[in-house]
Amino acid sequence: MEIQVNCAECDTPVAKVAAWASLCGEFFCSEEHWSMHMQNCSAPECDPDNDEMTVNLIASGYDWTCPGCSTKNHEIEVVAEVCCSKCKAEFLVGDTIHAYP
C-alpha cells in the first residue's frame, strides 16, 4: 500500500516516495513548492548554513545482470555502455533506476 502525504503548501495528496521533503519534516508536491518553503522556512533544519543539520549521502553504485550469462555486475558510476565481467559482452545502458527502501 502506498503511503500518501499532503503538500504543506497546497494540501494536494502525493505519494510519500514521490514527494519533495524538507529537512524540517514538511512534504511538497512539487519542486516549486519545496523551493519556496526552503527560502522562507525559519527552522534551523532548513538553514543551508547550519552544518550540524546536514548529512552526506553516499551511493554504493549500480548493479545489473548480464542478459547473456546471468552474471551479476556492479558499476561505480552511470556510464553509456557496460561490459560483463564474466563473458565480456557489451551492452548499452538503458534507464538508471534508484531503489526505494
Q: pLDDT tens, 9-59?
A: 999 988 877 788 887 888 888 989 988 988 888 887 777 777 665 566 767
CA-based nearest residue to 91, from 101, 99, 80, 75: 80
| Between 89 and 98, the higher pLDDT residue | 89
Over residues 49-75, mean pLDDT: 81
Number of domains observed in the structure of the chain: 2
9 and 44, same structural domain? yes
Say which residue the cell 555502455 belongs to: 81
Let me know if 31 is exposed, middle or buried by CB neighbors in 10 A (0-12, 13-18, 19+): exposed
54 part of a folded domain: no
43 and 11, same structural domain? yes
Its domain, for residue 80, covers 62-92
Predicted TM-score (pTM) of this structure: 0.47
17 and 42, same structural domain? yes
53 part of a folded domain: no
Q: What is the DSSP letter of 37?
A: H
